[in-house]
Structure 1
């Protein structure tokens, strides 16, 4: 397999990273806009969870066809076409006059940016060495965290100046410009080497779903990884406002520091993973097994603390969940390169279906517990307790299932 020179790989990474930055900003903006959208459209917790989850629903429903298109047509062509849908989604969101229109536009936004991470990961699997793949994956997530940072205080500051609708006009323009950069800088999807072509598996999604390592990673992807994103992109904000008693500006400030913490964490993973690989110390399964229980302890403390658990506690929770982010590149390396797009997209479907279900499910649970007579604080605590139990059950499955993946235990 021919790997790209370092300089070309850097340009490739930056082109993809700019597009992913805007997709992450679009993902996280709902948490900051939650108070104004709730007021403008009279949303309850169930509606707010569904609206935020609509992005991930659109994201999820495109993953299976996306994987086939990435393997067949390559990242550049697929990402440029999908960006057009994201532009339309942003324009539609800015023009919405009711909840149904908001939700449809949010789903379209999710469809449009659904290739912004999978396209670069597919390219990295084909064009970068294994050590570079893990670093590039972590730094793409760092770029996403930077986009999430931009979705907090900067958005909060701009809101009184321009309003939330013009913000989406600007996002539409910036996403269009980033797609032009992709078209200019990303190499064409050339034919694979003759040997790789001959050895390419005559396989599809059925082979991906049946893979024992993929099955092992599914529950933690759905509940643990998906739950981390659900908290980061939505429920940490309403918790700080409705449970902790923060103002919208204080909550946006809290979200800002949560996402700065995530940015620093993913940058650290990007620096650390190549060092671990060189010393044959990187064992993904072992790191997840040792590290993920920290998130359960932190979430339990948040639930018990209630009103006293603010942005700092949620930042520690999200950071402690990042061990599970190592699963995504490990899943990609468990499959041959010609099947990487489908494997990564299938796993991304699991992740973002989890985000959608956790975001909406917590909203449903909060409303249900409140209807049963619990206070607002008690309803949030009960909903988070259900999420904690499901996360721990997923971790138990991960420990008990067999791996069958050498990429998770040693460098390729």
Structure 2
């Protein structure tokens, strides 16, 4: 049962959602800025992959302490502290005069917004009943997709008017506004029962060895991480280098990819409580739907230049059921461990984003060096990603019975 009134729950959700909107905009803006940054700083594919992945590297480095702090201090205090780092990251990025400055700014941004989803999900685990948690998670991801929509055509339109550096000054100002809304709208965190001596472990050992965590971790790394890596970076260079899009056409393609993701996550939010009651939770949905994403990615690799924005939109949409694994992991653990469970799983996801983003860039450069043209190099790199994703799905299916029905066996 929810411990918040309906009105308070709406206010809390909106405050968190605005923050996550900015976080997602900041995360995905690199894809739209890629042609500009390539030209101004003479970047290679591996540099773009490292630059985009630097955000997720900074993000990943904070996850383990973040989980303990969330369980101990609660979402409000922790998120406000982290967002101050994000403001600094935006300013450092805007002042950069070389690649090292850009990378430092992106890492600070990633670290600073690394609590923007984990903080609300930790709060929802304590404040909302299970069906509402699934819905709130999906709708948080929907607001993230809205932020990614804002990072495409709107940013492309603003670039000639303001330049990319002032865009980051504006993002810093929006983060300060989000901090004010959080301070006013999110309740303080009462001491958890486990903190009063219930005997729950204070570290991460119980999380790392949990059978459901071990079963879903490869999905988080390759499937979830790969979806984000494509959505926030590699779809745009593919559209330009393989499908022959102009930068404006690629930004338009990203716009529609993110719109499709927004609609899909809204639909998941509407359907999630029904799925919890009728289908048995997240596992059967992921088992049935993720093979479609493998088929779509295989089709993209085979189609090459004929695969444009519509194909990548279909791929990203077909991956979205893997997002159900996040609340499923949280619900597999007691409330007092929710912050650590979510942060540990988020570490897996964003380590995967970093590895896939940089790995695809390294693979593209390596295949070009081996004699392939750019289009074939991209196709070969995506084929490697497909193999890794298929392996993760095979592991998930092979370990059925290891922590199944997580949504139904959690304890308060």
TM-score range for the pair, normalised by the shorter chain length:
over 0.9
Q: Structure 1 residues 2 and 260, CA, compared in 2 at 3 Å: closer, same or farther?
A: closer
- Give distance in 2, aligned partners of 1:386 and 1:407: 31
Report what 1:254 is aligned to: 253
Q: Which runs of 5+ in 2 are unaligned?
A: none
Report what 2:263 is aligned to: 264
- Give distance in 2, aligned partners of 1:298 and 1:411: 34
- Give distance in 1, aligned partners of 2:119 and 2:229: 22
- Give distance in 1, aligned partners of 2:208 and 2:133: 23
- Give distance in 2, aligned partners of 1:59 and 1:182: 20
Count of residues in correspondence between the two structures: 410
Cα contact 2:72–2:191 (8 A) shared by 1: no
- Give distance in 2, aligned partners of 1:166 and 1:301: 40
- Give distance in 2, aligned partners of 1:411 and 1:311: 40
Query: How far off its partner does 1:297 sit?
Result: 0.4
- Give distance in 1, aligned partners of 2:206 and 2:245: 48
Query: How far off its partner does 1:409 sit?
Result: 5.9
TM-score of the two chains, using structure 1 as the length reference = 0.97
Cα contact 2:4–2:127 (8 A) shared by 1: yes
Report what 2:168 is aligned to: 168
Report what 2:128 is aligned to: 128
Cα contact 2:281–2:405 (8 A) shared by 1: no
Report what 1:68 is aligned to: 68
Q: 1:325 aligned to 320, 323, 326, which one?
A: 323
Query: How far off its partner does 1:410 sit?
Result: 7.7
Q: 2:307 aligned to 306, 309, 316, which one?
A: 309
- Give distance in 1, aligned partners of 2:407 and 2:215: 12
Within-5 A mapping of 1:392-407: 392-401=390-399, 402-407=401-406
Report what 1:109 is aligned to: 109
- Give distance in 2, aligned partners of 1:172 and 1:120: 21
Residues 171-196 of structure 1: per-residue CA shift (max 9 Å, x gap): 00001110111011100011235x89
Cα contact 2:332–2:410 (8 A) shared by 1: no
Cα contact 1:220–1:398 (8 A) shared by 2: yes
Query: How far off its partner does 1:131 sit?
Result: 1.0
Query: How far off its partner does 1:403 sit?
Result: 2.5
- Give distance in 2, aligned partners of 1:203 and 1:80: 23
Cα contact 2:305–2:375 (8 A) shared by 1: yes
Residues 143-174 of structure 1: per-residue CA shift (max 9 Å, x gap): 00000000000000000000000000000000
Report what 1:290 is aligned to: 288
Cα contact 1:59–1:113 (8 A) shared by 2: yes
Report what 1:274 is aligned to: 273
- Give distance in 2, aligned partners of 1:125 and 1:407: 14
Q: 1:360 aligned to 347, 354, 358, which one?
A: 358
Q: Which runs of 5+ in 1 are unaligned?
A: none
Residues 281-334 of structure 1: per-residue CA shift (max 9 Å, x gap): 243111111100000000011011100100000000000001111101000000
Query: How far off its partner does 1:405 sit?
Result: 4.0
- Give distance in 1, aligned partners of 2:159 and 2:5: 43
Report what 2:207 is aligned to: 208
Within-5 A mapping of 1:149-164: 149-164=149-164
Q: Does 1:77 align with 2:77?
A: yes
TM-score of the two chains, using structure 2 as the length reference = 0.97
Cα contact 1:46–1:367 (8 A) shared by 2: yes
- Give distance in 1, aligned partners of 2:346 and 2:192: 24
- Give distance in 2, aligned partners of 1:2 and 1:13: 13
- Give distance in 2, aligned partners of 1:69 and 1:198: 17
- Give distance in 1, aligned partners of 2:289 and 2:374: 31
Q: Secondary structure at the match of 1:292?
A: helix
Q: Secondary structure at the match of 1:201?
A: coil
Report what 1:7 is aligned to: 7
Cα contact 2:89–2:112 (8 A) shared by 1: yes
Cα contact 1:200–1:336 (8 A) shared by 2: no
Cα contact 1:148–1:259 (8 A) shared by 2: yes
